[in-house]
Structure 1
Amino acid sequence: MRLITVQKVNIVKSVCRTFSLSSRKILYPVTHVIFDMDGVLLDTENIHKKAVSDVVAKFGKIYNLDLRYRVLGAPEIEGAKMVVNELQLDISVNHFIEMVHKIEENLLPHVNILPGVERFLQHLHDHSIPFAIATSSSKESYEIKTSKHKDLFSLFNHVVTGASDAEVKLGKPAPDIFLTCASRFNDKPNPRKCIVFEDSPNGVRGAIAAGMQVVMLPDPLLPKELCTEATIIINSMNDFCPEIFGLPNIEF
């Protein structure tokens, strides 16, 4: 397999936007792209943070950063259990989820696409690069979040909604959802030929466990020590240089 050396990456960086790469990382060319959805394609994380914060505040609690980052990327039910148990909320996990959903249902249908996403997805589509979604959301939640952007999301080869998919036995940071997503491309690529876009440490660990390279778009407040496992780190999809992974380049 052809490797992409750090020296070549440094040349590309001179004409691309800034990204972070460990000098110990070796990049491999890829043929397929897998995206997480929340915090990567859609600006949903702030909505979810507000909803959870509002619910726990009713019990005199605070949704602190440490807890938030451990919940980030986890399946909904597991994240809810963490919040209810660690904050010792006098409420069932299911009732907590219902309260969060009630706040979110008025906001999520209007969620915006994150910067650079639309251009990059259209670029992949124009160059016939297969791409799909691997989200921990349920199918119902996915439909609500994407309702404003149906044309854009119709470009995806397929979508795996982890909370509703029988093949996804374990949620992130387990590799199940990424392996399932890769297996549903028509040509069933080797996981090493897939690159994943993630915003959460849980998602990054799951993709690595699946044998895939990972581009991380972390929350600006996420501690740096929680971002060290990703292949590269970027601030925005506008900063991504596809050619460092052997994909067609984008004209800036």
Structure 2
Amino acid sequence: MAFRPVTHVLFDMDGLILNTEDLYTVAFQNIVSQYGKNYTFDLKLKLMGLQTHETADMVVSALNLPITSEQFIEESKKQFDVLFPDTKLMPGAKRLIEHFHNNNIPIGLATSSSKESYDLKVNKHHTELFSLFPNKTFGSSDPEVKNGKPQPDIFLVSAKRFPDNPKPEQCLVFEDAVNGVLAAKAAGMQVVMVPDPRVPKNLTADATLVIDTLVDFKPELFGLPPFKP
């Protein structure tokens, strides 16, 4: 498959840069276990990339929980306060972000997380790395992002915040979630997918490129400066 050269790069965060998708699973299972329910990977697949309120609505509805979405969000926040401060970086994330920064490639963060959630995940261990993103868009707390992934809003808003306002086709997105891939594609952008190994192969078909970890990415495929040997 031929890839188009790009000039700007947008990163998702959860499950791509940070191991927070694993922590979301622990948090949500802790909540639904109180009601004798199981938070399955099939359900997780459907809601990865959604905004906070959309996630809560789907979990409460799908598992028929005897609580409101607002109560689920409040319970989630209690779990996150405990779990999120000790997030870890995913393989290859630091190397790739620093590589783009050092080569003056404009990078932006496009996460469905809220600013509050972002601070919990980043502020204890990862502020230096995330300071390399001058452009950050928080889907769950940004009034310009009307709809969560798989709608294209977050990537279009994030791209617009680069000073030189690139066209969608000039942007490359990194994602781990099916909804995120669909959002990038709907925005008219190429997308590199780093899926959880449990994601069925047929659900990765919309990605421009699928790799196992960010370690495997070759920037020169998209006209970006290669790693030095």
Same fold (TM over 0.5): yes
1:156 to 133, 138, 158: 133
Determine if the alignment matches structure 1 residue 93 to structure 2 residue 73: no
In the TM superposition, what is the alpha-carbon distance from 1:251 to its structure 2 partner?
3.1
Task: Return 241-250 or 142-151, whichever deviates more.
Answer: 142-151
Deviations along 1:90-129, one digit per CA (max 9) or x if unpaired, are 0011111111221121121110111111111111111100
In the TM superposition, what is the alpha-carbon distance from 1:32 to its structure 2 partner?
0.3
**Count of residue pairs the alignment pairs up:** 228
Partner AA of 1:139 in structure 2: K
Structure 1 residue aligned with 2:144: 167
**Residue 129 of structure 1 aligns to a residue in which SS?**
coil
Determine if the alignment matches structure 1 residue 212 to structure 2 residue 186: no
In the TM superposition, what is the alpha-carbon distance from 1:76 to its structure 2 partner?
1.4
Structure 2 residue aligned with 1:59: 35
Task: Return 103-112 or 196-205, whichever deviates more.
Answer: 103-112
Which aligned segments of 4 or more residues in structure 1 are displaced greater than 4 angstroms?
none
CA RMSD of aligned residues (A): 0.9
Matches within 5 A, 1:48-127: 48-127=24-103
Partner AA of 1:214 in structure 2: V
| Unmatched segments (≥5 aa) in structure 1 | 1-24
Q: TM-score, normalised by structure 1?
A: 0.89
Q: TM-score, normalised by structure 2?
A: 0.97
Q: Tell me how far apart the structure 1 counterparts of residues 162 and 172 of structure 2 sit (CA, whole Å).
A: 13
1:38 to 14, 27, 46: 14
Structure 2 residue aligned with 1:9: none
Matches within 5 A, 1:138-149: 138-147=114-123, 148-149=125-126
Q: Tell me how far apart the structure 2 counterparts of residues 109 and 63 of structure 1 sit (CA, whole Å).
A: 22
> How much identity, in percent, do the aligned residues show?
49
**Residue 57 of structure 1 aligns to a residue in which SS?**
helix
In the TM superposition, what is the alpha-carbon distance from 1:137 to its structure 2 partner?
0.6
Q: Tell me how far apart the structure 2 counterparts of residues 96 and 45 of structure 1 sit (CA, whole Å).
A: 17
| Unmatched segments (≥5 aa) in structure 2 | none
Q: Tell me how far apart the structure 2 counterparts of residues 214 and 29 of structure 1 sit (CA, whole Å).
A: 12
Q: Tell me how far apart the structure 1 counterparts of residues 210 and 228 of structure 2 sit (CA, whole Å).
A: 20
Q: Tell me how far apart the structure 2 counterparts of residues 122 and 86 of structure 1 sit (CA, whole Å).
A: 40
